[in-house]
Structure 1
Amino acid sequence: MATSSRHDSGKVCCYLHPDAPLIEDYRAGDQICSECGLVVGDRVIDVGSEWRTFSNEKSGVDPSRVGGPENHLLNGSDLSTMIGPGTGAASFDAFGTAKYQNRRSMNSSDRALTNSYREIITMADRINLTKAIVDRANNLFKQVHDGKNLKGRSNDAIASACLYIACRQEHVPRTFKEICAVSKISKKEIGRCFKLILKALETSVELITTGDFMSRFCSSLGLKNMVQRAAAHIAKKAGDIDIVPGRSPISVAAAAIYMASQASEDKRTQKEIGDIAGVADVTIRQSYKLMFPHAVKLFPEDFKFVTPVEQLPPM
């Protein structure tokens, strides 16, 4: 017969040796005092596997007694029942339809959350985003969903905006057009949800700069490191002397890349840069037109010109 007492904290312990550690005997389901051998608790649940599993087994399924881990991103997921596929005749009705289906054990709220998490993962995979960004986006979506802050907005639009915010907060920002390209939602709708989520959750994102996109754009264009450094210097200098007021960092970065590439042997057209940066040719021209008169003082001093400044396209 088990005999036990409890600390003030509610922890089970031996009444003779309250500070002695307890030994758990999973085979018998007992908790035993390590000092005197007294059984102080019984019927302990074995949370281990029912039999051994090996990583090279084809099934890859861990036959655990207690089911899958709790998912804090779902409401009441620890109480749901997942029904395996039927194999016998009793599992199907006269029309061949399965009698027991998993959708009956998941409420509509969890189903909406699951579908949105799946959409976030799909979008993130398309643009090679990390798990940390996906997890942050999922948490943001759950906060919005539980708070019912964006009623009337589609879950896909909210999921896209959450992924955009997660990228900004994890310091690997993506443009609205990049998110829009892997989503089914328009850029305008993602932008609306973005503002509403920031207001509803009382959170914020850091301002984006030209440096956030420069290395990625130059890498995608196959530009040399010298051109990338020159473009970064041009964009930063243009911002410091305030010759591109009101222009977005993305358009300034694109114009700086165009200017640096035109002065080097790795020349790139406005269209090539625009396709990578997600901005229109005319947007690059407008920023470049503001920067061109100051080109002499925008380039770094050690830049090796292939095309002199005075021979750059004047626009």
Structure 2
Amino acid sequence: MIKSSWNGSSSTALASRSPTATLVSPLPVPPPASELPFHRNLNVHLICPDCREDPPHLVENFSDGDMVCESCGLVLGARIVDTRSEWRTFANDDQGSDDPSRVGEPVNPLLDGGQLGTTISFLSNNSSASRELNRAQNKSSQDKRDQHLHAAYAKISSMCDRYHLPRVVQDTAKDIYKKVEDHRALKGKSTESIEAAAIFIACRQANVARSFKEIGLLTSVPKKELGRVFKIIDAILQEGGQMGGAVSAVTAAESDYQSVGTSAEDLMNRFCSHLGLSSQVSSGAQLIARRVTKEGILAGRSPISIAAATIYMAAGLFGEAQSASKIAERAGVSDGTIKTSYKFLWEARDKLIDPQWLESGRASLAGLPKAQ
């Protein structure tokens, strides 16, 4: 291939020499930017054609929908669409029942449907016709399932507030309850047992573990019934694969559901706080519980029994001895269970007690209760 210039004579001569010669024209050179006429290109850059300030001082007049140059007052655009968010809600009492919100409340993912229904309220004259119209509209439009969900959510919130549980536990428990209701696998089970199991699982997910007995006392659901419902819900959530997270900042993004168990370390701080023990005893009991689990000394026993026996040992070791009956009252187990578990801890005390505690003088073996 022979490239030729754009001169006619030389191009003809070169083309005649070779039958396969091809004329290739160069790309056109654009004129300089200074010679181009002014045109408005909002996708690139918008400046005022009069004052030509760069950067421009442009303001949007939302009341008129105009784009105006602040320096010279030239109107650069008209009928501009206001793209600001309209998700505004104000109390009706502030502006004489004049609510400027034009979009309503956001969709609640915990309820069914799109929540786009219309509600007819009483008229100001409180006439019989308005009351009848309101009553007829309520009978025809209100969803009984949403009413049931509202009642369940209110009860979950009440129980969580009574037990001083964080807001994330409430939101997670409501989300779990909604998923279980959608699955329809717990027909015949009482609503109270489902709510209690949802709160129990939510506590585990939020790392504020509570025992079956504590949740049972809170909700008045028997421990055995709570355990049965918990196993069913846990299987449903594992089968579903994902827990929702559309209700709070902590649960806003969906995350894989994983069944979380309760360990003795999770219960230690709360039990020690209820007993008025120092942070030194709490941290020491956690270390002992970690070693108990690692060595398998109390394998097969419940986390509550392990936590109670460990606190019984750590409190005496650090000079803040507590009776077995007092610890049993706070932990929710019998003092006989604590003493039986403590026998195994006493026999393995050399593996559980950190030698640095004894060397520093913070702990003493003389304060340990005798195994009975």
Provide the alpha-carbon RMSD of the alignment.
4.0
Task: Tell me the equivalent position of 2:223.
Answer: 187
Q: Distance in 1 between matches of 2:191 and 2:231?
A: 15
1:251–1:284: 8 Å Cα contact kept in structure 2? yes
Is the partner of 1:78 in helix, strand or coil? coil
Describe the superposition over 1:27-85 as per-residue Cα deviations: whole angstroms up to 9, x where unpaired: 57x799x996354879x9994669x8799x6x999663443332121112522345556
Equivalent pairs: percent with the same residue? 34
Asked if the contact 2:66/2:76 (under 8 Å) is kept, the reply is no
TM-score by length of 1: 0.76
Question: 1:306 offset after TM fit, Å?
Answer: 5.7
CA distance in 2, matches of 1:221, 1:89: 59
Q: 1:197 and 2:233 equivalent?
A: yes
Contact 1:133/1:167 (CA < 8 Å) preserved in 2? Answer: yes
2:314 is aligned with 1:260: yes
| Partner amino acid, structure 2, of 1:75 | D
2:369 is aligned with 1:312: yes
How many angstroms apart in 1 are the aligned matches of 2:98 and 2:224? 44
Which residue in 2 is equivalent to 1:64?
Answer: 101
Opposite residue 275 of structure 1, the aligned amino acid is E
Q: Is 1:210–1:253's contact at 8 Å kept on the other side of the alignment?
A: yes
- How many angstroms apart in 2 are the aligned matches of 1:271 and 1:102? 57
| 1:110 corresponds to 2:146 | yes
What pairs with 1:138-287 in structure 2 (closer than 5 Å)? 138-202=174-238, 203-287=257-341
The one-character-per-residue Cα deviations of 1:87-146 (angstroms, maximum 9, x if unpaired) are: 53315899x9x8468576431111111111111111211222222222111111111111
Q: Deviations over 1:229-253 (max 9, x none)?
A: 2222222222222221201122101
Secondary structure of the corresponding residue to residue 155 of structure 2: helix
Which one-letter code corresponds to 2:349 in the other structure?
A
Distance 1:54 1:83 in 2: 16
Contact kept in structure 1, 2:209 and 2:262, CA below 8 Å: yes
Paired AA for residue 214 in structure 1:
M
Distance 1:70 1:298, change over 3 A: same
Q: Is the 8 A contact 1:31 1:41 kept in 2?
A: no
Corresponding residue for residue 77 of structure 2: 37
Deviation of 1:19 (Å) = 4.2
User: What is the 5 A alignment of 1:119-130?
Assistant: 119-130=155-166
**Worse-superposed segment, 150-159 or 101-110:** 101-110
Mapped partners of 2:287, 2:87: distance in 1:
58
Bigger RCO of structures 1 and 2 (CA < 8 A, at least 6 apart):
1
Q: Which structure 1 segments of 5+ residues have no match?
A: 1-15
CA deviations on 1:2-23 (whole Å, 9 max, x unpaired) are xxxxxxxxxxxxxx968489x9
* TM-score, scaled relative to structure 2: 0.65
Number of matched pairs: 293
3-state SS of 1:308 partner = helix
Larger-gyration structure (1/2): 2
